[in-house]
Amino acid sequence: MTKPFSISPAEYADALNVMGDKINVLARRETTGSYAITLVQGHEGNGPPPHSHQWDESFFVIRGEVEFTFEGKTKRAVTGTLVHFPAGTVHSFTFCKGGADVLEITGEGTQAIEMFSALDREIAAGSNDLARTAEVLEQNGVKLAI
């Protein structure tokens, strides 16, 4: 059974360094009962290649702009925009000029935090080891579509 909770910035665990971006874990699925919430501080030009996974994923842009690509189209999401991808949707995104802060909510069955933790542990910031990165992603339920 889940319980009510709150978390303030002073209580955040150390941010994960995922490919040069900072990710704070706000809530794990064990805490919420089904979904996870992270706060992503993305640097200009960073973002994942086209991929899919078997959990829903929503992004709320808190600051800056992010270009999301899905269904063959690219949409620029400005501060205040919500973007949602149902499970299985191939998508990618890139943080625009000046970077962006994004609240990410991943749905039931999510392995996102485990994936972020593995990338933080196993892939050094600035590394271009795409083969190893792809391997870590696949081990955590993410399929690259490139």
Q: What is the CATH number of the domain that holds 128?
A: 2.60.120.10
The tens-digit pLDDT sequence of the chain (146 residues) is 789 999 999 999 999 999 899 999 999 999 999 999 999 999 999 999 999 999 999 999 999 999 999 999 999 999 999 999 999 999 999 999 999 999 999 999 999 999 999 999 999 877 778 889 999 999 999 999 97
Q: Is residue 88 part of a domain?
A: yes
Q: Is residue 34 part of a domain?
A: yes
Q: Is residue 7 part of a domain?
A: no
Tally the domains of the chain. 1
Q: Is residue 6 part of a domain?
A: no
For the entire predicted model, the pTM comes to 0.94
Non-local (6+) Cβ contacts of 39 within 8 A are 12, 23, 24, 26, 62, 101, 102, 103, 104
Q: Domain span at residue 85?
A: 12-140
Q: Is residue 31 part of a domain?
A: yes
Q: Is residue 67 part of a domain?
A: yes
